[in-house]
Amino acid sequence: MSKTDDVGKAFDFRLFKRIFAHTKPYRGIFWLVALVAILSAAFAIGIPILVKNIINDSLESKDGQQLLTAVMWMLIFLLGQVITQLLFNYYANLLGEAVIRDIRIRLFEKMTSFKMTYFDNSSIGVLVTRAVADMQRIGEIFSQGFFMIVADVLKMISAAIIMIVINWKLALIVFAILPVILIATRLFQQAMKVAFIEVRAQVANLNSFVQERIAGMKIVQLFNREEIEKEKFRVINEKHQNAWLKTVWYNSIFFPVAEISNSIGIGLVVYFGVVQNIENVSLDNKGAIVAFFFLMDLLFRPLRQIADKFNTLQMGMVAANRVFKILDTDSHIADEGSLERKDVKGDIEFKDVRFSYVKDEEVLHGISFQVKAGETVAIVGATGAGKSTIINLLNRFYEIDSGHILVDGIDIKEYTLRSLRSHIAIVLQDVFLFADTIAHNISLRDESITTEQIEDAAKQIGVHEFISSLPGGYQYNVKERGTMLSSGQRQLIAFLRAYVSNPSILILDEATSSVDTYSEQLIQQATDKITEGRTSIIIAHRLATIKKADKIIVMDEGKIIEVGTHKELLKKGGYYNDLYTAQFMAEEVA
């Protein structure tokens, strides 16, 4: 968070209009909130006037009936104030929540359309903050900022006018204190702004520190880092505490000072009104003095708080600005194709494909290969050779720099993204599972996939027994990222996920981590089954998979260096032969 983000600039009306444009679907609520804000101010202002009348007229005249009527009016006004405040609170919050719900949905929708490069370059923490904390701030524009400012300004202006009408000399005396309060408020505000920037920075530090340590707890414990991390955490906590205490300190100074100026005001009114007896206030107009006490409160209190509310408004706008920046970001894969295919055969061709994740750092240097429909092709090569990159390109997670990728002889750019991806299923190297049941992790909540279908598929690829053995079977909740399962088991779930979607093209990025023999067997069996009768590209680390492939593509440093069957490549005695000798010989002997 940069400093310029937070320090208020001149009020940005365009941004303000854009935020308020989101209230359009809620016009009725908007005007209701505006109305009750004004009414609540009116009731607040009415009370001092009633008090003055009660003291001056009703009490003086000793007319019981008149007094009763006056008290009734007082009650009505108090009740009016209570009801309008209640309505204001509820509907202002409702409006805020409705607006941020809409913006949040649009933001999420936008995020899901971004291409992978966007996420490669963004921090998860920051995006989460945009979707959650910043949204809350935007909501506060409505619940605590804008309308309250309007109501407060109304209150202050009317209080000032009524004071002048009742007794302009006393009013002027009261106004003389205003600069003191204004200056104190201004100083307080500036100090708080700086303090809050520090608080927020420390909160962000705390967040990311805790988040990272929890995610990496294994490393912390494994390397006995507990003490060191604790010490680091202590330091961050202390900074956070100090930052907070600073804001508490400013509050502790400001509010007594503000109270004192209120009391000084009361003192001045009493002195000049009663003692000096300006224009005979004291004798025949006691009510005016009491009314002034009330009116002063109506003038000073909002004045003290208005800066705070303006700050809330400003912070909401800063947050909105950040969120709108994401909404305005154009970083999706151009979905300009129009081809929708219900079925594809599954021919794949890469034609001299060049690609770089980061500009000028080419990762794939002219990749060309062909896979015929129904074939199984294994890609092998050293780590970092560019194997996973190839599959990132086939389903257009990234755009290639040059060359062509064809499915069924047609450039993949001509398909709609939805159509293209509907024919390709991928089991990634790191299986990602949602904190949900196994059944939902397989169907991805696609309603058209029934429980029977899932179980049937599981039986076919031979994992039904394993899933049934889990507590709750298919309803077993795997918790965040599937932590309740082993990596081999997660892989099997991912296989099933790919299998039920029944794709024409299957891509499998085998995990490099070794799994136990039993899982290994299950995975092998499942691999055989799901590759059956469809085009399969397997980034293979297992010898069994490689040997069964119709074709092996050997990659090194972003280039294809050999292509052939297991036997052909061994006979050739090149890179593959070396790889085989180094990695798999022992495995085969065993």
Ligand X SMILES: Nc1ncnc2c1ncn2[C@@H]1O[C@H](COP(=O)(O)OP(=O)(O)OP(=O)(O)O)[C@@H](O)[C@H]1O
Using CB under 5 A, list all residues that contact Mg ion.
Answer: 388, 429
CB of 332 to ligand X, least distance (A): 17
CB of 559 to ligand X, least distance (A): 12
Chain position whose Cβ is nearest to Mg ion: 388
Which one among 263, 383, 469, 517 touches ligand X, defined by CB under 6 A?
Answer: 383
Q: In this complex, which beta carbon is closest to Mg ion, that of residue 309 or of residue 490? A: 490
Q: In this complex, which beta carbon is closest to ligand X, that of residue 299 or of residue 348? A: 348
Question: Interacting stretch for ligand X, rule CB under 6 A, among 122-130, 262-270, 356-364, 446-454?
Answer: 356-364
Q: What is the DSSP letter of 475?
A: G
Contact of residue 81 among Mg ion, ligand X, none (CB under 5-8 Å per partner type): none
Contact of residue 466 among ligand X, Mg ion, none (CB under 5-8 Å per partner type): none
Other CB atoms within a 10 A radius of the CB of residue 472 amount to 12
Give the span between the Cα atoms of 378 and 553, in whole angstroms. Answer: 6
Contacts of 42 (CB under 8 A, 6+ apart): 154, 158
Confirm or reject binding of residue 120 to ligand X (CB under 6 A).
yes
Cα 116 to chain centroid distance, Å, stands at 17
CB of 115 to ligand X, least distance (A): 11
**In this structure, are residues 532 and 504 in contact, taking their beta carbons and an 8 Å threshold?**
no
3-state SS string for 127-163: HHHHHCHHHHHHHHHHHHHHHHHHHHHHHHHHHHHHH
CB of 118 to ligand X, least distance (A): 11
Torsion angle (degrees, nearest 10) of CA 490, 491, 493, 496? 180
Q: In this complex, which beta carbon is closest to Mg ion, that of residue 48 or of residue 386? A: 386
Question: Interacting stretch for ligand X, rule CB under 6 A, among 268-276, 379-387, 475-483, 528-536?
Answer: 379-387
Q: In this complex, which beta carbon is closest to ligand X, that of residue 249 or of residue 432? A: 432
CB of 385 to ligand X, least distance (A): 4
Q: In this complex, which beta carbon is closest to ligand X, that of residue 219 or of residue 358? A: 358
Confirm or reject binding of residue 363 to ligand X (CB under 6 A).
yes
Q: SS3 helix, strand, coil % of the chain, rounded to 5?
A: 70, 10, 20
CB of 392 to ligand X, least distance (A): 7
Confirm or reject binding of residue 357 to ligand X (CB under 6 A).
yes
Give the span between the Cα atoms of 478 and 282, in whole angstroms. Answer: 78
Please calculate the CA angle 557-561-566 and round it to the nearest 5 degrees: 120
Confirm or reject binding of residue 145 to ligand X (CB under 6 A).
no
Q: In this complex, which beta carbon is closest to ligand X, that of residue 389 or of residue 443? A: 389
Q: In this complex, which beta carbon is closest to Mg ion, that of residue 388 or of residue 422? A: 388
CB of 107 to ligand X, least distance (A): 23
DSSP string, 23-52: TGGGHHHHHHHHHHHHHHHHHHHHHHHHHH
Contact of residue 358 among ligand X, Mg ion, none (CB under 5-8 Å per partner type): ligand X
Q: In this complex, which beta carbon is closest to Mg ion, that of residue 98 or of residue 508? A: 508
Give the span between the Cα atoms of 378 and 355, in whole angstroms. Answer: 21
Confirm or reject binding of residue 388 to ligand X (CB under 6 A).
yes
Which one among 22, 104, 304, 387 touches ligand X, defined by CB under 6 A?
Answer: 387
Order the strands of the 376-381 sheet from edge to edge: 424-427, 505-509, 535-539, 376-381, 551-556, 559-564
Any long-range contacts for 1-8 (C-beta under 8 Å, 24+ apart)? 1/200, 1/201, 1/204, 3/197, 5/318, 5/321, 5/322, 6/193, 6/196, 6/197, 6/200, 6/315, 6/318, 7/193, 7/197, 8/193, 8/311, 8/314
Contact of residue 48 among ligand X, Mg ion, none (CB under 5-8 Å per partner type): none
409 token code pair: 């002889």
Of 560, 154, 266, residue with least CA distance to 386: 560
Burial class of residue 141 in the structure, from the number of CB atoms within 10 Å of its CB (0-12 exposed, 13-18 middle, 19+ buried): buried
Site for ligand X in 426-485 (CB under 6 A): 429
Confirm or reject binding of residue 397 to ligand X (CB under 6 A).
no
Which one among 302, 316, 386, 482 touches ligand X, defined by CB under 6 A?
Answer: 386
Question: Interacting stretch for ligand X, rule CB under 6 A, among 23-31, 132-140, 382-390, 471-479?
Answer: 382-390
Contact of residue 386 among Mg ion, ligand X, none (CB under 5-8 Å per partner type): ligand X
**In this structure, are residues 181 and 300 in contact, taking their beta carbons and an 8 Å threshold?**
yes
Confirm or reject binding of residue 385 to ligand X (CB under 6 A).
yes
Q: What is the DSSP letter of 342?
A: S
Q: In this complex, which beta carbon is closest to ligand X, that of residue 300 or of residue 580? A: 580
CB of 363 to ligand X, least distance (A): 4
Q: In this complex, which beta carbon is closest to ligand X, that of residue 176 or of residue 358? A: 358
Kindly list the distances between the CA atom of residue 482 and the CA atoms of 217, 459, 479, 511, in Å, as whole numbers in the listed order. Answer: 16, 21, 5, 15
Decide: helix, strand or coil at residue 447. Answer: coil
Contacts of 33 (CB under 8 A, 6+ apart): 88, 91, 92, 95, 142, 147
Contact of residue 209 among ligand X, Mg ion, none (CB under 5-8 Å per partner type): none
290 token code pair: 């009491």
Confirm or reject binding of residue 358 to ligand X (CB under 6 A).
yes
Which one among 125, 384, 472, 533 touches ligand X, defined by CB under 6 A?
Answer: 384
378 token code pair: 């294994």
CB of 347 to Mg ion, least distance (A): 24
Q: In this complex, which beta carbon is closest to ligand X, that of residue 327 or of residue 428? A: 428
Give the span between the Cα atoms of 522 and 528, in whole angstroms. Answer: 10
Residue type, 13: F
Confirm or reject binding of residue 389 to ligand X (CB under 6 A).
yes
CB of 374 to ligand X, least distance (A): 25
Site size for ligand X, by CB under 6 A? 13
Question: Interacting stretch for ligand X, rule CB under 6 A, among 147-155, 304-312, 326-334, 357-365?
Answer: 357-365
- Can you give the binding site for ligand X, defined by CB under 6 A? 120, 357-358, 363, 381, 383-389, 429
